[in-house]
Amino acid sequence: MKILRFFIALFSISAVCTGMCSQNRDGGISESMLSRIREGYKETPSEKAVRNALAGQSIALLAVNSDNASMIDTHFSDRVPTKGITDQRSSGRCWLFTGLNVLRARMIQKYDLGEFEFSQNYISFYDLLEKSNLFLQAIIDTRNLKLEDRKVDWLFKNPIGDGGQFTGVSNLIMKYGVVPKDVMPETYQSNSTSEMRSILSNKLRQYGLELREIKPSDASARKEEMLTDIYSILVRCLGIPPTDFEWTRYDSNGRFVSCKRYTPKEFYGEFVGTDLENNYVMVMNDPTREYYKTYEIEYDRHVYDGDNWIYVNLPIERIKEMAIASIKDNTAMYFSCDVRKFLDSSKGTLDLANMDYSSLFGTDFSMDKKQRIQTYASASSHAMTLIAVDLDDNGAPRKWMVENSWGASSGYKGNLIMTDEWFNEYMFRLVLEKKYVPADVLDLLKKKPVMLPSWDPMFLPED
């Protein structure tokens, strides 16, 4: 009987294998199919020329549309006054530079300052410390789940990074305040973060495994010891964040105004003072999800005891109305988009007509915004500061401009100009003061948000 069962099992395995092998052969590229594919390509002089060109040049350069070579008109009907261009260098801190640029534009206007920057390094220090705590506490919270669980797997895959979004700006500044850039300037490691990020990631993974094994009653005390080590690494890389400092204020003509000692929170309270956690709303245009609903992303925050990323999903035209109202009131906004799509970096323009990939490859690329998101072809990748719009005689936008954080020599005087058509296709997120948000949109925030998983591709940290 055992021998009979053995042969029955062997026959079943063989049948399954035969079925699978047959299925694979039917779906593979056969010799006859390959022959037809080869015959479908016709070598012509123009095809040879394209092949030769692609062998020695970048696709983006060869796809440049010569019919769109002229520069976009750089006049804007409405523009928020700003001074100076920042540079995030080789770091993923666009979200932080953008948030601080919004605040510095307000401070420069209000106090008639010359060029001024907040210290990005100061906030970066506490961002990385808080993210370390967020990871370690999340490991403690999920220690009863298997290591292979999707949530635990995601945590170990993404223990820390220097990317982020607006809740990081709001929670960190309200908790730690701000300091001028000359009080805590950039370091090599803050400007070029990959090595530091790798060291921190591996150390946190090591600590994470340990926390999953120790007694629950010992986890909190051990986590504090681990964070003390992380703090020491950050001090070595970024410097010691000041607890108080002296700052001399000069006006835009270089005249002395005052000299005073501040704590970082006192400095923020005196020169900015806005409640970032309760006075701002994030809106988003994501056609893959239902409009006029509020969404929340689990674990997508910078501070464990802070806020998850919450946004209202809206049609693009509603977002434009709010953006125009803010710009007309001289208020810059946190803005994010898929910046590398159809970017002409030499001119500093984002225009669907910048590149002609269809002519270069002889095929169409016709997915719409919803399809690009669904197939991982597009997502928000970079945050910038929205500062200008050009309106036609009917009040409709023709183009927009953002202040970037890639240095003054990049783009158009450090800025990027986008056509309204590009805005429709590749703009994703905007953060506005509540006074520019209509009541019906604010009402949506009173409803319980739909919780989304942290690994959703639309919600990767912006860098």
365-403 pLDDT, tens digit each: 999 999 999 999 999 999 999 999 999 999 999 999 999
Q: Are 314 and 441 in contact (CB under 8 A)?
A: yes
404 carries an active-site annotation = yes
Q: Are 285 and 314 in contact (CB under 8 A)?
A: yes
Q: What are phi and psi of 384, to 5 degrees?
A: -145, 180
Question: Is 90 exceeded by the pLDDT of residue 458?
Answer: no
What is the per-residue pLDDT for 13?
47
Q: How far is CA 389 from the centre of its chain?
A: 22
Taking residues 426-436, what's their average pLDDT?
A: 98
Taking residues 244-272, what's their average pLDDT?
A: 97
What is the per-residue pLDDT for 25?
67
Is 58 part of a structural domain of the chain?
no
Which of 333, 339, 229 lies closest to 283, judged by CA?
A: 333
Is 416 part of a structural domain of the chain?
yes
261-290 pLDDT, tens digit each: 999 999 999 999 999 999 999 999 999 999
Question: Is 80 exceeded by the pLDDT of residue 243?
Answer: yes
401-410 pLDDT, tens digit each: 999 999 999 9
3-state secondary structure of 127: helix
Question: Is 90 exceeded by the pLDDT of residue 2?
Answer: no
What is the per-residue pLDDT for 461?
64
d(CA 147, CA 135): 14
What is the per-residue pLDDT for 455?
83
Is 33 part of a structural domain of the chain?
no
d(CA 308, CA 81): 32
Taking residues 408-418, what's their average pLDDT?
A: 97
Which of 400, 403, 381 lies closest to 391, judged by CA?
A: 400
d(CA 151, CA 153): 5
Residue 372 belongs to what domain range?
78-459
Q: What are phi and psi of 273, to 5 degrees?
A: 80, -5
Q: Are 433 and 279 in contact (CB under 8 A)?
A: yes
Catalytic site residue from 101, 121, 133, 404 = 404
- At residue 225's C-alpha, the angle toward residues 223 and 228, to 5°, is 110
Q: Which DSSP category does 347 fall into? A: T
Indicate the number of domains in the chain.
1
253 carries an active-site annotation = no
3-state secondary structure of 78: strand
Angle between helices 194-213 and 120-141 (to 10 degrees): 20
What is the per-residue pLDDT for 462?
67
Which of 380, 412, 403, 238 lies closest to 311, judged by CA?
A: 380
Is 226 part of a structural domain of the chain?
yes
d(CA 450, CA 433): 23
What is the per-residue pLDDT for 1?
47
Q: Which amino acid is at 163?
A: G
Residues 6 or more apart in contact with residue 162 via CB below 8 angstroms: 91, 92, 93, 124, 127, 128, 193, 197, 463
Which of 321, 428, 439, 443 lies closest to 381, judged by CA?
A: 428
d(CA 335, CA 97): 11
What is the DSSP secondary-structure string of 389-431?
EEE-TTS-EEEEEEE-SB-TTSTBTTEEEEEHHHHHHHEEEEE
Confidence of residue 236 (pLDDT cuts 50, 70, 90): very high
d(CA 52, CA 321): 47
196-230 pLDDT, tens digit each: 999 999 999 999 999 999 999 999 999 999 999 99
**Is residue 281 within a helix (H) or strand (E), and if so which, with residue range?**
strand 280-284
Helix ranges (DSSP H) in 142-240: 150-157, 166-176, 188-191, 194-213, 216-238
The CATH number of residue 282's host domain is 3.90.70.10
Sign of CA dihedral 4, 7, 9, 12: negative
304-362 pLDDT, tens digit each: 999 999 999 999 999 999 999 999 999 999 999 999 999 999 999 999 999 999 999 99
Question: Is 50 exceeded by the pLDDT of residue 173?
Answer: yes
Q: Which DSSP category does 384 fall into? A: E
21 carries an active-site annotation = no
Q: Are 347 and 72 in contact (CB under 8 A)?
A: yes
Question: Is 70 exceeded by the pLDDT of residue 58?
Answer: yes
What is the per-residue pLDDT for 362?
94
What is the per-residue pLDDT for 456?
80
- Indicate the average pLDDT of the chain: 93
Which of 457, 297, 299, 300 lies closest to 379, judged by CA?
A: 457
What is the per-residue pLDDT for 265?
98
Confidence of residue 299 (pLDDT cuts 50, 70, 90): confident
Is 267 part of a structural domain of the chain?
yes
Q: Is 228 exposed, middle or buried (0-12, 13-18, 19+ CB in 10 A)?
A: exposed
Taking residues 10-24, what's their average pLDDT?
A: 47
Confidence of residue 34 (pLDDT cuts 50, 70, 90): very high
Is 24 part of a structural domain of the chain?
no
Is 44 part of a structural domain of the chain?
no
Is 36 part of a structural domain of the chain?
no
70-83 pLDDT, tens digit each: 999 999 999 999 99
Catalytic site residue from 94, 133, 313, 337 = 94
Catalytic site residue from 313, 354, 382, 415 = 382
